Amino acid sequence: MELDASQVRRIILDEHSVLRDELEEVVTLLEDVATQRADAAVRLKQRMKAFYDAFLKHIAHEDSLLRPVLADIDAWGPARVQSLDEEHRQQRATIAALAGLDPTADVEGYLARVKQFVREVSSDMAAEERDCLNPDILRDDTIVIDSFTG
Ligand SMILES: [Fe+2]
């Protein structure tokens, strides 16, 4: 089939037109996905704010209730207190940094940092339960003696 130049031109331009329509739909879908992800990231930030508040209260409790008991339970007491203090210092710093992020500015980066925080908190709680809250360590007969070096 012989086509003249203007027919070739018409066919190719029509194909471009169809492809442009499809591309427009793809761009709309991409924008929808980006918007939904940003919305989800904002909801996550709100949810995390509630978690940070609860978690900060929890570590304040550990400081007031657990820390004095740990200090005196055995020869490793001071080391346990030191690691609790360091852990809580890091956790407060991480929370302050996370709470200040705009999740829509870098959705991927925000998700990665929240995921890392969740992993760290989970593993710190497990380590605390193993190293400090274990009933063999924190026994009911643990006698809390005021440090008294007169
Ligand atoms: Fe804890």
Residue 146 located in a structural domain: no
Q: What's the pLDDT at 103? A: 94
The total number of structural domains in the chain stands at 1
User: What is the spatial distance between Cα 24 and Cα 29, in angstroms, rounded to a whole number?
Assistant: 9
Residue 47 located in a structural domain: yes
Ligand 1 centroid to Cα of residue 62, in Å, is 7
Residue 48 located in a structural domain: yes
Question: Please, is 132 exposed, middle or buried when counting C-beta atoms within 10 Å of its C-beta (0-12, 13-18, 19+)?
Answer: buried
Q: Read off the pLDDT of residues 34-55 as tens digits, 9 standing for 90 and up.
A: 999 999 999 999 999 999 999 9
Ligand 1 centroid to Cα of residue 89, in Å, is 13
Q: Which domain holds residue 88?
A: 40-131
pTM for this model (two decimals): 0.78
Host H or E run for residue 131: helix 107-131
Residue 83 located in a structural domain: yes
Residue 54 located in a structural domain: yes
DSSP codes joined into one string, 46-93: HHHHHHHHHHHHHHHHIIIIIHHHHHHHSTTHHHHHHHHHHHHHHHHH
Residue 56 located in a structural domain: yes
Query: Comparing 4-8, 52-56, 100-104, 142-146, which segment has the lowest mean pLDDT?
Result: 142-146
Ligand 1 centroid to Cα of residue 125, in Å, is 5
Q: Which amino acid is at 76?
A: W
Residue 61 located in a structural domain: yes
Q: Read off the pLDDT of residues 58-106 as tens digits, 9 standing for 90 and up.
A: 999 999 999 999 888 888 889 999 999 999 999 999 999 999 999 999 9
User: What is the spatial distance between Cα 126 and Cα 121, in angstroms, rounded to a whole number?
Assistant: 9
Ligand 1 centroid to Cα of residue 122, in Å, is 9
Half-sphere exposure of 29 (CA within 13 A, CB side): 6
Residue 75 located in a structural domain: yes
Ligand 1 centroid to Cα of residue 117, in Å, is 14
The protein residues having their C-beta less than 5 angstroms from ligand 1 (an ion) are 128
